Every structure is written in C-alpha cells, then in structure tokens.
C-alpha cells in the first residue's frame, strides 16, 4: 500500500486478494563491518487486492505456524484480517498480526518447479535459518527473483551509535543455491557509524552467513 504510516488506521482491517509472491520474513541487525545477524520471523505474503477498502498491492506478514497450517502459494486467493505495521521497524510488511484467514481459491500444484525462479511450496523457516542468505541485487529482487521462494527483502537496523542511535533501511537477499545463474550480489553496501567512515559489506559476510551449508549448494 502506498499510504504513509501516519495515515494508516490503528485498528484491525480486512483484506482480500491474490498472492503474487511468498517470501521469508526477517530483519537484520548490522553493526560496523563484521556484524550482520539475520532474525527469521515467518513469511511475507505479497498480495494484489483490497485492504481497508483500498485497492492495490500490499504485504501481509504471517507466522511460520500459519504458513505451516495454510501452505500459502502463489496464485492463492485469501481473505483475512490484520493490523497496520505503522510503527513496526523490524517488518517490511504493511500489515501484521494477521488472522481470520479464508481461502477463496487455491492455486494448482506446480507441475514444473524447475527454476530459476524457484516456485515450489515454501519450506519451513528452519530451512532458511540453516541455509543463510547472500546479498541480492535490489533490481533482481524486484524483477527476475520476485516470485522465487528464496528471495527476501528485510528490514535492517543499523547500530549507528552503539546503544543510543539506530538507523533503519531495507535490503534484499537470496537464500537460494549458490549455483543459481540468475544471482548477482549487486553493489557493495555501506554500513554507517557516527564518528567514522562507513564500513563496506562487499560480500565477505555472505560467506560467514552461509558457512553452515558446508559443501551443500
Ligand atoms: S538469485 Fe536467488 S532469489 Fe533469484 S532466482 Fe536465484 S535462487 Fe531465486
């Protein structure tokens, strides 16, 4: 939804629409050069439809438990309730605390899941925690990767002045196989600190974040 947070209602709204993408839901803590911690919260549904009486595209945050039960997939049409994320700094979603789900129609099972993009049913959140993410070019995330189960856009909290000042932004990541031919890291990312030059995350932290894969792709 394009409305500013201050314009959003602070009460439960109704939404309905078709799911265009399902991605894991996470937030990232960054501190200077060598700290990038990904916290996995559940899943984001990217929906085209109507929310709070307005038509458009919006993101609904759901929990791992809700996803395990309802098995959301691209093409499903759902309706439900949720609350605006007006002050939720660790979510990129427009709405969270979703409930009252009702499936209005379900998409067919994928018969040809070969990717990229990979569009099988999303695995549980533990799989994302185990794989770990690499930085993904933001343009790729928006275009070729948007429907991919391994794509992610996270809220990022930067420890700008330790314990006193934080800064917030959004970044894009990929949890998919290292062999994916669509992958590109994009430009290195600056991590600012108040009294020094910014640190540069040029990809070496991706190796740390994915080291638990071992020899797996
Ligand atoms: S680069 Fe990552 S997100 Fe994009 S298609 Fe490949 S696995 Fe999916």
Give me the pLDDT at residue 115, please.
81
Is the CB of 173 inside a 6 Å radius of any atom of ligand 1? Answer: no
Burial class (CB in 10 A: 0-12, 13-18, 19+), 143: exposed
* pTM of the shown model: 0.92
- Model confidence over 15-35: pLDDT tens digits? 999 999 999 999 999 999 779
How much distance in Å is there from the Cα of 29 to the middle of ligand 1?
22
Rounded to whole angstroms, the Cα distance separating 51 from 82 reads: 9
Range 146-161 average pLDDT = 97
Strands 95-105 and 134-135: unpaired
Is the CB of 180 inside a 6 Å radius of any atom of ligand 1? Answer: yes
Q: Where are the alpha helices (DSSP H) in the chain?
A: 64-70, 125-131, 138-142, 204-209
DSSP track, 12-53: -EEEEEEEEEEEEEEEEEEETTTEEEEEEEEEEEEEEEEETT
Write down the residue that tokens 């499936």 correspond to: 103
């Amino acid at each position: 939804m394009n409305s500013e947070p201050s314009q959003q209602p602070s009460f439960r709204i109704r939404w309905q629409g078709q799911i265009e993408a399902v991605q894991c839901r996470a937030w990232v803590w960054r501190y200077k050069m060598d700290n990038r911690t990904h916290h996995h919260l559940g899943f984001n549904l990217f929906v085209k439809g109507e929310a709070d009486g307005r038509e458009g595209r919006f993101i609904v945050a759901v929990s791992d438990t809700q996803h395990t039960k309802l098995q959301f997939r691209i093409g499903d049409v759902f309706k439900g309730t949720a609350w605006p994320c007006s002050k939720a700094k660790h979510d990129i979603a427009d709405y969270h605390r979703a409930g009252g789900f009702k499936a209005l129609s379900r998409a067919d099972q994928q018969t040809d899941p070969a990717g990229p993009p990979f569009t099988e049913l999303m695995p549980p959140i533990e799989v994302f925690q185990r794989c770990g993410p690499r930085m993904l070019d933001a343009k790729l995330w928006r275009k070729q990767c948007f429907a991919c189960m391994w794509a992610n856009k996270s809220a990022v909290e930067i420890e700008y002045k330790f314990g006193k000042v934080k800064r917030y932004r959004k970044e894009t990541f990929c949890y998919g196989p290292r062999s994916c031919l669509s992958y590109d890291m994009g430009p290195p990312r600056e991590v600012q600190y108040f009294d020094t030059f910014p640190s540069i995350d040029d990809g070496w932290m991706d190796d740390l974040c994915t080291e638990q894969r071992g020899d797996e792709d």
